[in-house]
Amino acid sequence: MALERFPLSSFDHNSKELCGPQLDPCPVLPLPNPTPWRKREIGVKLWVSAVIALGGATMPLSIIMLCLLCRRKQGKGNHTPQSGSYIDWSVKMKGYSGSATTNPAERTVELDFFVKDIPSLGLEELLRASAEILGNGKNSITYKAILESGAVVAVKRLKNLDVSSQKEFFQQMQLLGNLKHHNLAQIVSFYYSPDQKLIIYEYVHGYNLFELLHDNRGTGRIALDWTARVSIIKDVAHGLAFLHAALPSHRAPHGNLKSSNVLVRREGLNYCCKLTDYGLLPLLQSQKFHERLAVGRSPEYCQGKRLTHKADVYCLGIDDLSGWVRSTVNSDWSTEILDIEIMQSREGHSEMFRFIDLALECTSGLAEKRPKMSEVLRRIEEIG
C-alpha cells in the first residue's frame, strides 16, 4: 500500500516480478484443490483433538493413534492393510474382506447388526471420515463422524476404563448390537484392541435432554411444553423397559441413564428420544469404575450392595422424572420444585403430581420398594 504513494517512474528499474495497481496486474495464481486438503485437515482434527484432550496421562495411547494415522497416510492409494496394528484395527470391522483372523470370537462379529444404510462400514472408512468432538466425558470421548458416503455416525471412544477381555467385549457388543428398538440409539459397529475400544452408534440429530432442560434458554430455544415432556418421558420409559426385558440377567441393563444420555430428535411437531450409553456395566471389571456410571449414584452402590435393575429405576427417577419434579427428591438438579415453564401453563398440573409420586417411589432409598420398570412404564402411560 505504501508503494502506491510513489510516482510510476519510481518503478522503472525494478524487478519485473513486482505487480500491483501502479504496474502490471498481478497474475491469478491457481489455488490448490481445496477438497483433499480440507478433508485431510478435518480428518486430522479428530486425532489432533484427541491428543490434546487426552494430554500427558494418555500420551502412549495418543502416540499409538498418531502412528496409526501416519500409517494410513503412507498407505494412501492402497487401501489394503498390510500388517501390524493397522490390520488389528481393520479385522474387527465388517466389510473388511482381507481379514485373516483365526479367532472364532472375532469371526462372530460378522453379524447382521450393522445398520442397513451403512452396509460396509470398515475401519478404513471410519478413519477417512471427518470428525468433530461431541463431548468429552468421564468415561469416553464421543465424536460425530461423517463418512465419505455421507452417512453420519457417533463414535464413542472408551477411555481409562478397565474394560473386560476381548472375548467378553465382543460378546457384549453382539448382544447389544442385536437389540433393536426405536428408543435406543442403534449400535452400528465396534472396534476392540488393547489400546482402543470404540463403539459406533447411529447418529441422532438433535439435542440431548440435559441441553434441552438446562441450556435451552436463549433465542432459538425449543420450548418444552407439557405434551413434549410427556412424550419424552414415555420414550425414555419405553427404551428402558425394553432393555430390562431384553437383558434380564444384567444387573443394571442400562447402567448409565442420565439426561445427557437421552438423545432427543424433533420429528415434525413431535419428539423422538433414543437412549444411548447402555449396557456398559458388564464391561467394567473393576468395581471402582462403576461409580463413574449413573448407577454409581444409587443408594445401594453407595452402601456397597449389589446393583439390580432397580438401580436403573432410581436413575430414571432422579434424572429424568426429576426433570419435572426437580428438588422434591434429593438430587443434584436445580432448585425449582416444578419447572417454571410448566407452572406457567395451566396444563398438566394433576398429572404433574402423579409424576411426583412416581418419581418419589422410583427414588426410594430401598431398592426393593421401587417399582419394576414394567410397572413404571404402565403408570407413565396411564398418566400421559
Ligand X SMILES: Nc1ncnc2c1ncn2[C@@H]1O[C@H](COP(=O)(O)OP(=O)(O)OP(=O)(O)O)[C@@H](O)[C@H]1O
Contacts with ligand X, residue ranges (CB under 6 A): 134-135, 137-140, 142, 154, 156, 185, 201, 203-204, 208, 256, 260-261, 263, 276-277
In the complex, least distance from residue 265 CB atom to ligand X, rounded to whole angstroms? 9
Instruction: Report the residue closest to ligand X, judged by CB.
Output: 137
Q: Do 362 and 313 meet the contact criterion of CB atoms below 8 Å apart?
A: yes
Nearer to ligand X, 65 or 356 (CB): 65
Q: Do 234 and 384 meet the contact criterion of CB atoms below 8 Å apart?
A: yes
Question: Which CB sits closer to ligand X, 199 or 342?
Answer: 199
Shortest Cβ distance from residue 32 to ligand X (Å)? 33
> Which cell goes with 101?
483372523
Ligand-binding site membership of 156 (annotated) = yes
When the beta carbons of 173 and 352 are compared against ligand X, the nearer one is 173
Cβ closest to ligand X, residue 203 vs residue 289: 203
CB-based burial, 273-311: b 16+ in 10 Å, e otherwise: bbbbbbbbbbbbeeeebbebbbbbbbebbeeeeebbbbb
Please report how close the Cβ of residue 39 comes to ligand X at its closest, in angstroms.
Answer: 22
Q: How far is the CB of 137 from ligand X (least distance, A)?
A: 2
HEC profile for 319-381? HHHHHCCHHHCCCCCCCCCCCHHHHHCCCCHHHHHHHHHHHHHHCCCCHHHCCCHHHHHHHHH
The helix (run of H) or strand (run of E) holding residue 88 is helix 84-90
Residue 271 φ then ψ, to 5°: -120, 145
Facing residues of 262 across strands? Answer: 275
CB of 263 or CB of 338, closer to ligand X: 263
Tell me the backbone φ, ψ of residue 4, rounded to 5 degrees: -60, -20
Q: Cβ contacts of residue 302 below 8 Å, gap of 6+?
A: none
Tell me the closest approach of the beta carbon of residue 319 to ligand X, in angstroms: 11
Residue list, annotated binding site for ATP: 156
Residue list, annotated binding site: 156
